[in-house]
Amino acid sequence: MADSSVEYRPLIRDLPLGDRPRERLHHHGASALSNPELLAILLRVGSSRESAIAQATRLLARFDGLPGLARASFNELCTQHGVGDAKAAQIKAALELGKRFLASEPQERALVQSPRDVANLLQAEMGLLEQEHLRVILLDTRNRVLGLPEVYKGNLNTAVVRVAELFRDAVRENAAALIVVHNHPSGDPEPSQDDVRITEQIVEAGRLLGVDVLDHVVLARQGFVSLRERGLGFGTA
């Protein structure tokens, strides 16, 4: 008799055709897929315990998204359930190709010109995180993305966030501007008073360092909020 305590997770082949990652990519393009869906295509198959999408979602959560997955060693990936040498090699190869593409074709880098562009870039990855993460989008003089470093993880407040850390990568990459992005695990993107105070400190530090702070965007399951559009933390500038 089957163990009724085992949770059933449908395989990709059990999903309707329109919900399968490969079919969605074929009909709607790669940009329409979430990070877990794209990673699931690389993994190809899951395991007896989970589908490729469930496995991809677990890996992204375990390593705190794509940047963490890129930093993970080959051996670290292989220790994860259902990931052997072949899957680890596929993941590392795909991420390295992405890095090399950005390095060789700067004109193809993503453009960020509005809060909606920020959400399109990061909401699928950050909107479902269970902890608060703070990242900065580093931009060149044409608002093309230079990098997306994560600078903090945990409950954000003015007592623990060191503003100087937000600018470390910006100075190293000679970024002309940056956008601060963090998520609200509660699902509500409404900025808190701490969010506003931190924004004020970041904007002031940016003025001193000559790095334009264009916005602070809060992402959540229920949407996103631009503090600049709300006039919060940016004064009258």
46/91: higher pLDDT: 91
Q: Is the pLDDT of residue 179 over 90?
A: yes
- Output the average pLDDT for the chain: 83
CB 216 within 8 A of CB 118: no
Asked if 92 and 126 sit in the same domain, the reply is no
CB 143 within 8 A of CB 111: yes
Q: Which whole-number Å values give the CA distances from 50 to 6, 7, 56, 99, 163, in the listed order?
A: 11, 9, 10, 29, 41
Residues 105-121, mean pLDDT to the nearest whole number: 81
Helix/strand/coil percent split, the chain, to 5: 50, 15, 35
Q: What is the DSSP string of 115-140?
A: HHHHHHHHHHHHTT-SS-EEEEEEE-
Domain that holds residue 169: 110-230
Q: pTM of the prediction? A: 0.59
Is 155 within a domain? yes
CB-based contacts of 33-37 (< 8 A; 24+ apart in sequence): 34/124, 34/125, 35/60, 35/65, 35/66, 35/124, 35/125, 36/60
Q: What gap in Å lies between CA 180 and CA 226, rounded to an integer?
A: 10
Asked if 85 and 127 sit in the same domain, the reply is no
Is 6 within a domain? no
Half-sphere exposure of 22 (CA within 13 A, CB side): 9
CB 217 within 8 A of CB 181: yes
**CATH number, domain containing residue 134:** 3.40.140.10
Share above pLDDT 90 across residues of the chain, in percent, rounded to a whole number? 39
Q: What is the pLDDT of residue 158?
A: 53
Confidence of residue 2 (pLDDT cuts 50, 70, 90): very low
Residues 3-23, mean pLDDT to the nearest whole number: 53
